[in-house]
Amino acid sequence: MGLDQYARVEDGNKRAERADTEFALWLDHPNLQGWMEKQWRYTGKTGEFNNEKLYLTNELLNELEADVKETGLRETNGFFYGQNSDEYYKQRLGDADARYYKEQDLKFVSDARGYINDGYKVYYSSWW
C-alpha cells in the first residue's frame, strides 16, 4: 500500500466531455501530499487528509509553481506514503534526475490553470 495521488476536473458551469476526468497522477510523491495537506488545513479542515478533495484556484497554483521552481517542495513523511519517488529515482538514475517530479508538477500546474480558465473546477485528492 502506498500513496496514490491524482487531480481531476469537475463540471464547473458547463457540460463537456472532459468533466469528471483524471488528468494527473502521482505515485509516492509525499512532498506534494504535504504541500496539499497544508493548503487543505488552511481552509479549516481537520482530521486525516485521505480521500478528501482540495479544490484548487489560480492563486494556489501560483504558490505551488513558485515553491516547485524556487525551493522545491518541503520533505514530507507519512506512514502510508511509501518511499519518496524522487529519492528512488535519485538512487537509480543519479543526481541529475533527483527532481523526478519537478517537470510533472509544473505540467500539472499548467494543465490545471487551463481547465480552470475554461470554466472547470479542479481538485487534488489522494488515497493511502
Cβ pair 86, 98 in contact under 8 A: yes
Q: Which value, to the nearest 10 degrees, does the dihedral of the CA atoms of residues 84, 90, 96, 99 take? A: 0
Tell me the pLDDT band of 72, cut-offs 50, 70 and 90: confident
Tell me the pLDDT band of 12, cut-offs 50, 70 and 90: low
Nearest partner of 123 among 5, 16, 8, 32, judged by Cα = 8
**Model confidence at 97: pLDDT above 50:** no
Can you tell me the distance from the alpha carbon of 29 to that of 33, in angstroms, rounded to the nearest whole number?
Answer: 7
Q: Which value, to the nearest 10 degrees, does the dihedral of the CA atoms of residues 46, 50, 56, 61 take? A: 100
Cβ pair 36, 6 in contact under 8 A: no
Q: Which three cell numbers stand for residue 32?
A: 506534494
| Helix (H), strand (E) at residue 68 | helix 58-70
pLDDT at 50 (0 to 100): 93
Give percent above pLDDT 90 in the chain: 52
Domain that holds residue 46: 4-127
Q: How many folded domains does the chain comprise?
A: 1
